[in-house]
Amino acid sequence: MSALPETAVELRRAAAEARAGWSRQGWLALAAVAVVALVPFLSLPGVRLDALANTLYLALAATALGLTVGSAGLPSLGTGAFMAIGAFTSALLVARSGWPVEPAALAGAAAALVAGLLSGGVVRLRRAFVAVSTWLLAWLVWLFLLAFPSVSGGSQGLILPQKTLLGLDATPTVHFEVALALLALTALAIAAARRGAPGLELSALRQAPALATSLGVGLASRRLAAFAATATLAGLAGALAVQLQAVADPNAYDPFLSFKLLVAVLLGGAAATLGPAAGIAVLGLISLVSGPFARLLHLPLERFDTAVAAILLVFVLALGGEGIVPWVLARLRRKERPKRLPAAPAAPAAPPPHEPVLRAAGLRKAFGGVVAVDGLALELARGETTALIGPNGSGKTTALRLISGASRPDSGVVELGGSDVTETSTAERVRLGIARTLQTTSAFTELTALENVLVGRGVRRPFAGLVRTAFATPRARREAEAAETAALQALAVVGLERAADTPVPELTSSQRRLVALAAALATEPDVLLVDELAAGAGADELDGLAAVVDRIRERGVALLVVEHNLRLVRRVADRVVVLAAGATVAEGSVAEVAASGVVQRAYLGTQRL
């Protein structure tokens, strides 16, 4: 019974937030949409409304593709296939089964969604394979339509009866307004998704997939969501556009349509939400101008358009262009860094008991004939720092990979809090509380420090999916605020609270490693595996790093640090494990290990110096 008043409260809250967040740009955008909405009523000379409405539907599909190409970085050459699936589904339902337009259009979008999910396995692949697979998909759908005239109506196409749309006669004017409204809503939703967690994580996956997955970002799920959303919206655009055209002609959906959409995205700028729509507008203008030329040269018009679009794209790409909209925005907008009060690290909980939290036993991993880790046993306790040292090639990083889930052991077990996690994936282990920093890639270079840490926060955000973020549900908004607070606190733990909005390229390499550490901390780990924190750090930085490690330990985290810098090891380690040729050769306090002479033998060989 309390649902209704709660909803009312939420709505008022949302309205207040919207008012507070409303800016001059918001008014400008609203005014622009309103002016465009008036176009059909101005009876402009020489303007064909049906062509304009059709262009708006194309812009809708291109805007949707912007999510896959711009955020996810996937070169999809198959968007036209989803438009075709939407178009022919809705056309068949209207022409053969007599459905009204609205449910038929939704069915078209649903069919495209199903096709997107079915072919969505390709998002796990490298980008070259994504490009080939989507290209083949575009051909598959087109060749299917050509080969089966019973479905596609053959060379005549399917003729569609005149219908109503939203209770009005489906005139080009009505289609124009519907397309404009859908385009505006789609752009808003995609802009929200790109600003929020989905956009951030897709961007992280695009820049450094290994680093993003080590922070528990689900590569397949995030990319599939973007790919399927693009498919659905393209299907909807195709389904409505075909009703406007009143005929479903297979030849309108050849692979060139997919290419044209990609050209529009790149021409307008994949990085901006409105870039693809601008790209479609530019292509439309080109075709208006090139039409008379083609007639003059007695060339078939479609061929001519094709060549012009292709050559234009090559020029834009060759100039290293990011596309029109980002280029304009960069000149209009001066980047202002938001003003924030530096956060203080949240007070650590009461001193935790030194209970064991992670246990590894009998871990063994061989690569071909080389045994990298041979029967390793480890026990890590809360609030304790264990250092794993040993010469190059002794299996330290492999040991970390086995514990974090990046590779599977040939034999042995990893237990977290008493339960066996040997068979779980990296992402699942991050969720359960095992985080790891990488030796090779430390931070996402296109993001700020705070955004880097927010990527790590993703595993603790159950309401940050694509749909919830795009619709900015109350829970998603509350969670986004909480995530930012948590990320700022994690930055404070590593002492970078004042650098939150600094882009990564402006940070030193030591600071980048600290950002990576903060990102791992933001996953709220019980166990933190740190690979080479001090690599490349100067002697003057060691004290700072040691203080950071100690602060993390005091928060009750079990730390395992792989470290070559033995000075740092002496400062922070409660316990030292020495590896040589994949096996433990010594274990104990720093003093015990140093006294045993094993370290010297491991590093320098048995000969006395």
Partner 1 sequence: MTITLQVLVSGLAAGAVYGLFAAGYSLIYRLTGIVHFAFGDLVGLGVFATLLVLAGTTPVSQAGATEPRFVLALIVGLVLCVAAGTATYVGIVQPYLSRGSTIGWVAGTAAVAFAIRAVIGATFQRSSYVFPDPLPFHDIGHSGFVRIGGAQVQARAFFVIGLAVALALGSAWFLEHTRYGRALRAVADDAEGARFVGVPVELLVALAFGLVGALAMIAAIAAAPGEAVNANTGTLLGLKGLVAALAVRFGPPLWAFVAGLVLGVVEAAIANVHIGSWQLGPSYREVLPIAFVLLFISLWPSPEALEERE
- Minimum CB separation of residue 508 from partner 1 in Å reads 24
**Per DSSP, what are the bridge partners of residue 534?**
none
**Per DSSP, what are the bridge partners of residue 359?**
379, 415
- Minimum CB separation of residue 116 from partner 1 in Å reads 12
| Residue 176 or 253 with smaller CB distance to partner 1 | 253
CA–CA dist 72, 201 (Å, integer): 9
**DSSP of 373-408:** EEEEEEEEETT-EEEEE-STTSSHHHHHHHHHTSS-
- Minimum CB separation of residue 385 from partner 1 in Å reads 23
| Residue 199 or 556 with smaller CB distance to partner 1 | 199
CA–CA dist 244, 247 (Å, integer): 8
| Residue 73 or 352 with smaller CB distance to partner 1 | 73
CA–CA dist 249, 202 (Å, integer): 36
Evaluate the CA torsion angle 425, 427, 430, 432 in order and state its sign. negative
| Residue 256 or 444 with smaller CB distance to partner 1 | 256
- Minimum CB separation of residue 327 from partner 1 in Å reads 16
- Minimum CB separation of residue 315 from partner 1 in Å reads 10
Q: Are 381 and 328 in contact (CB under 8 A)?
A: no
CA–CA dist 227, 188 (Å, integer): 18
Q: Which residues bind partner 1 (CB under 8 A)?
A: 69, 73, 75, 77, 119-122, 124-129, 131-133, 135-137, 139-140, 143-144, 147-148, 209-211, 213-214, 219, 256, 259, 262-263, 266, 270, 299-300, 303-304, 306-307, 309-311, 313-314, 317-318, 320, 404, 406, 426, 436, 438
φ, ψ (nearest 5 deg) of residue 435: -115, 160
Q: How many CB atoms lie within 10 A of CB 200?
A: 26
For residue 351, how far is the Cα from the chain centroid? 37
- Minimum CB separation of residue 123 from partner 1 in Å reads 8
Amino acid, single-letter form, for residue 117: L
| Residue 131 or 187 with smaller CB distance to partner 1 | 131
| Residue 270 or 504 with smaller CB distance to partner 1 | 270
- Minimum CB separation of residue 300 from partner 1 in Å reads 7
- Minimum CB separation of residue 373 from partner 1 in Å reads 17
| Residue 61 or 569 with smaller CB distance to partner 1 | 61
- Minimum CB separation of residue 319 from partner 1 in Å reads 11
**DSSP of 399-417:** HHHHHHTSS--SEEEEEET
Q: Are 82 and 142 in contact (CB under 8 A)?
A: no
| Residue 66 or 556 with smaller CB distance to partner 1 | 66
- Minimum CB separation of residue 270 from partner 1 in Å reads 7
**Per DSSP, what are the bridge partners of residue 380?**
358
| Residue 69 or 569 with smaller CB distance to partner 1 | 69
- Minimum CB separation of residue 139 from partner 1 in Å reads 6
Pick the closest to residue 203 from 219, 179, 185 (CA basis): 219
Q: Are 270 and 63 in contact (CB under 8 A)?
A: no
| Residue 22 or 315 with smaller CB distance to partner 1 | 315
| Residue 137 or 381 with smaller CB distance to partner 1 | 137
| Residue 211 or 549 with smaller CB distance to partner 1 | 211
**DSSP of 262-293:** HHHHHHH-TTSTTHHHHHHHHHHHHHHHHHHH
| Residue 313 or 522 with smaller CB distance to partner 1 | 313
CA–CA dist 447, 245 (Å, integer): 44
| Residue 438 or 499 with smaller CB distance to partner 1 | 438
Q: How many CB atoms lie within 10 A of CB 509?
A: 11
- Minimum CB separation of residue 544 from partner 1 in Å reads 27
Q: Are 563 and 578 in contact (CB under 8 A)?
A: no
| Residue 32 or 118 with smaller CB distance to partner 1 | 118
**DSSP of 464-499:** -SHHHHHHT-HHHHHHHHHHHHHHHHHHHHTT-GGG
Token digits of residue 285: 């203008």
Pick the closest to residue 459 from 442, 483, 437 (CA basis): 483
Q: Are strands 434-436 and 527-531 parallel, antiparallel or unpaired?
A: parallel
- Minimum CB separation of residue 65 from partner 1 in Å reads 12
CA–CA dist 192, 380 (Å, integer): 42
- Minimum CB separation of residue 495 from partner 1 in Å reads 26
- Minimum CB separation of residue 599 from partner 1 in Å reads 29
CA–CA dist 560, 306 (Å, integer): 58
What is the SS3 assignment for 2? Answer: coil
Could you tell me the strand order of the sheet in which 558-562 lies? 434-436, 527-531, 558-562, 385-389, 575-580, 583-588
